Amino acid sequence: MKISIEKTPNQKMSQYAIDTATTVSITHLPKTYFSQVVNAAMDINDLAGKAKAMPHIAARNLHSERGLHASLDRAKEAGIDKVLIIGGSEKKGRAFQGVNGVYSAITRYNFEMYCGVYPQEESFNHTLLTKYGKFSKGITQLCLSSKLLNK
């Protein structure tokens, strides 16, 4: 069974959780520098003894393209091999306005790139046509709303 756990850059995790998880996603929250996300991912991989961490890149939360590249250079050197690119919660970005700009800017790193998938808003065909042409995989959060699930 594959188990993915999500944590914030500052949140502590037990060694048991790290050992049990297949992947540990590190969120890129508003007002958080992407370098903090990468640092947390590197810490998780050190504790796991292998590449388990997947930093989120929230496009509109990025402060600069230069900062993105500096952090990704460090991530690549540290053995991080996958990233999740999402839009982010900010309405307008400083460096990027959405996932496509980030995707184009970082393809040279050869990360396995994941995208956010929103089944309550996007059909399977829409996701297949608009996202899976670029991204290798998608991630969604567990939905517990019976109203949305019944749709």
pLDDT digits (tens, 9 = 90+) for 77-135: 999 999 999 998 888 999 999 999 999 999 999 999 999 887 777 777 877 787 877 88
Overall number of domains in the chain: 1
Q: What is the CATH number of the domain that holds 115?
A: 3.20.20.220
The whole-number pLDDT of residue 143 equals 63
Question: pTM of the entire structure?
Answer: 0.88
Show the domain range for 21. Answer: 4-150
6 vs 111: CA distance, rounded Å = 19
pLDDT digits (tens, 9 = 90+) for 46-83: 999 999 999 999 999 999 999 999 999 999 999 999 99
The first and second tokens of residue 147, run together, are: 């109203």
**E-state strands within the chain:** 4-7, 23-26, 53-58, 82-86, 112-116, 137-139
